Amino acid sequence: MAVRPISKDIVLSKAKSLNIPCYEQEAEKITECINVILRSYERLDEIVEVVPEVKYGRTCGHRPTTDQNPYNAWYYKCDIKGAATGKLSGKRVGIKDNTAVAGVPMMNGSKIMEGYVPEFDATVVTRVLDAGGHIVGKAACDDMCFDAGGFTNSIAPVLNPVDKRHLAGGSSSGCAALLAAGEVDLAVGGDQGGSIRIPAAWCGVVGLKPTYGLVPYTGAMAMLPCIDHLGPMTRNVSDCALLLEVLAGYDDGRDPRQIQDVSTQDYTAILSKDLTGMRIAVVEEGFHGAQQEVEQVVRNAALKLKDLGAVVESVRVPIHPDGFHIFTPLTMEGAYQTMMKDHGFPAGLRGTRFLSLLDEVAHRQTSRPFNFSEPLRLAMILGKHLMTTYKGRFYARAQNLVRLLTAEYNKVLESYDVMIMPTTLKTAPNVLLQDSSVAERLTAGSGLGRNTAPFNATGHPSLSVNAGHVGGGLPVGMMITGRHFDDATVLHVAYAFEHIRDNPTFTSI
C-alpha cells in the first residue's frame, strides 16, 4: 500500500482536530519532517514478511444444506486431514468460526465478515493438524462473539440438541451443539466471558477455559487481549485433557497474551478417580440468584466428591458478585477500543498481525455498520460514550480492581485445590421467536456470565462439566476453577466427578 506525502493543509487540519496549536510557518516545517519520516513507511511495505506456513492441503469446503445442519451449528463444512499419526489421530474436530482456517471462509457469526477467507491457519489449527486431527468444519458462533445466548448468529440461532426448543448457549454455540449431537469428537472454542463454559453447560458437554495465555490465541479474532481465551470442548474430560495437551504451549512470541515460560503438563497422565487429600471449596456467592433446581443439582454433585476422598466445604468469597461488575468495563470499553478503533490488533503489544484480517475488519466495520447485531450495537455505543466522556477512567479502575479480585480468589485457593459453583444460574432458555421484541433480544443474554466472566478477568482455569439434569432433561453445568497454570487439578476433579456421575446409581438431586 503506497503512503502518500502529506500536505500542509492536512497537518493544520489534524492539529485542529487534536486541539494542538500549529501556526503556518511551524506547519510547513512539520510537513517537511513528516514526509521524511514517511519514507520509512514506504520501505516497510517493500520488505518481505515471514508468514506462517500452511502445512496441510485442503479445499475451501461448502456451506451445509438444511438437512446437513439440523441445529444450525455449522457455518462451513470442510475436510482437512492432518498428520498420518498423532494424539488426535482419527478424531473429528470442529473449529469455532472466530478462528482462522486457511482457505475456509470465516464469518465470526456476523454479516460484517461474510465473504472473508483467511490465507493463514491459526496456531491452534496447525497444532490440531500436526497431532493428526481431522478438521471437518467451522462451528457457528454468536455475532462477533458478542453474546452468550446462542441466538445472535446472523444466519440462524443455534439450537440445543438436547431439546431443539431451547438455545445452545454462546458464543461457542456451534461447538457445544455439534459435540452434543455427536457430529464432532472435539472442538476448539473461544471464551471472553463464558463463551466456552456457558454452551458446554447448556448442552451437557465439557468446556475448559484454560489459564490465561496457556493456549495461544494467534489467528483468532480478538475482543480484548486481556480476556481472550481459546480452549478445548469435548464430550468427556479425558478428551478435554488430551486436546489441551495438543493446544497448550508457547507460540514463539506471536501471541502477546503469553509469557515466555508458559507452564504445561501431561494432562492426561494426571487424571485419576481418587480425590483423597483434595480440598474443595463450594463458593456460596456463586449460588445467589440460581434456579432452585440448578442449585440442588450442583450442591449434590459437589457433595458426591466426598465419596472419592475429598474434603468439601462451604466458603464465602464476598467479592465474587462484584466480579461481573469489574469485568463489565473491560468488555464494554475494552472491546470498543480493540474491535472498533484498533480493528482487532491493539497498538502497544508485540506479536503477529495478520494484515488481511486487519484490513477486512477496518473496512467492513465502517462500510457495514447496519449489519451489527443489537447487543453489539449497544456495546459499541456504550463503549464509545464511556471512553470519550470519562476518558477511560472506569476501564482503568476496573483493571486495578482485577488485582483485588484475583487476590481474593487466590486466598481461597491457598487453602483449597479448586472452587465449585454453578456454571450458569439457569438452564437453557427457549429459542427466541422471529417476532421477538428489541428488548427481548437485547436482554436475552444479559447476566449469563455472572459466574463465568470474573475468571476471564483474573485468568484462572475454569471448566464446566455436566452435573446432571433437571426436569425436562435439560443439563446443568458445574464449574470447577483452580490455580493459575494448575489446569491439571481442575481436569482431575472433573474426571473424578464424571466417574461418579456415570455410575448407574447416581441421581442429580
Catalytic residue from among 77, 91, 138, 171: 171
DSSP 199-239: HHHHHT-EEEEPSTTTS--TTB--S-TTT-EEEEEESSHHH
Mean pLDDT over each residue of the chain, to the nearest integer:
93
Mean of the pLDDT values across residues 360-378? 81
Judge whether 171 counts as a catalytic residue: yes
Contact 177, 69 (CB under 8 A): no
Q: How far apart (Å, rounded) are the C-alpha atoms in residues 23 and 8?
A: 10
In sequence order, the β-bridge partners of residue 234 are 186, 206
What percent of the chain clears pLDDT 90, i.e. is strictly above it? Answer: 75
Give residue 287's pLDDT: 98
Give residue 82's pLDDT: 97
More confident call, 22 vs 417? 417
Judge whether 195 counts as a catalytic residue: yes
Q: How far apart (Å, rounded) are the C-alpha atoms in residues 282 and 160?
A: 28
Q: What is the pLDDT of residues 258-299, one digit of tens each?
A: 987 798 999 999 999 999 999 999 999 999 999 999 999 999
Give residue 423's pLDDT: 98
Q: Hunting for cell 486487519 — which residue is that?
A: 358
Query: Has residue 37 got a pLDDT over 80?
Result: yes
Catalytic residue from among 195, 462, 464, 508: 195
Give residue 115's pLDDT: 93
Judge whether 446 counts as a catalytic residue: no
Q: How far apart (Å, rounded) are the C-alpha atoms in residues 312 and 284?
A: 12
Helices (H), 267-392: 267-270, 292-304, 320-329, 335, 355-367, 374-390
Q: What is the pLDDT of residues 384-419, one digit of tens each?
A: 999 989 999 999 999 999 999 999 999 999 999 999
Residue 171: asked if its preceding bond is cis (omega within 30°), the reply is yes
* CB within 8 Å of 241: residues ≥ 6 apart: 267, 268, 270, 271, 488, 491, 495
Q: How far apart (Å, rounded) are the C-alpha atoms in residues 508 and 299?
A: 10
Residue count of the chain, please give it.
509
Catalytic residue from among 96, 138, 209, 426: 96
Mean pLDDT lowest for which of 52-56, 208-212, 364-368, 494-498? 364-368
For 456, the grid coordinates are 476471564
More confident call, 417 vs 442? 417
Contact 197, 462 (CB under 8 A): yes
- For residue 200, CA distances in Å to 218, 253, 385, 479 come to 23, 31, 34, 10
Q: How far apart (Å, rounded) are the C-alpha atoms in residues 440 and 252?
A: 45
Amino acid at 137: G
Q: How far apart (Å, rounded) are the C-alpha atoms in residues 469 and 508?
A: 6
Query: Has residue 434 got a pLDDT over 70?
Result: no
Mean pLDDT lowest for which of 129-143, 315-329, 351-365, 407-421? 351-365
Q: How far apart (Å, rounded) are the C-alpha atoms in residues 508 and 298?
A: 8
* CB within 8 Å of 45: residues ≥ 6 apart: 1, 2, 3
